[in-house]
Amino acid sequence: MKIKYFQDTDTLYIEFRSGAVVETKDLDENTQVDLDRAGNMCAITIEHAKERADLPHFSFEQVGT
């Protein structure tokens, strides 16, 4: 998984899996989801990220084994 923040465009990009994207769906006017051939979510793009997410506070926690 990769998370990228593009400060110049205030865009947050979260890649869940690499692979060929065959379709991009608009969830709303500022959020797009990329899907592979099987319909699995590959990535999500969030525009105006500072307004829509708590960007300065990021944490990752893996629970379980």
- pLDDT higher at 53 or 45: 45
Q: What is the pTM of this model?
A: 0.83
Q: Which residues of 6-31 are buried (b: 16+ CB within 10 A; e: fewer)?
A: eeeeeebbbeeeeeeeeeeeeeeeee
What is the tens place of the pLDDT at every residue in 18-45?
989 999 999 999 999 999 999 999 999 9
Q: By percentage, how much of the chain surpasses pLDDT 70?
A: 98
Q: What are the boundaries of each domain within the chain?
A: 2-52
* pLDDT-based confidence at residue 62 (cuts at 50, 70, 90): confident
Distance CA 42, CA 58 (A): 20
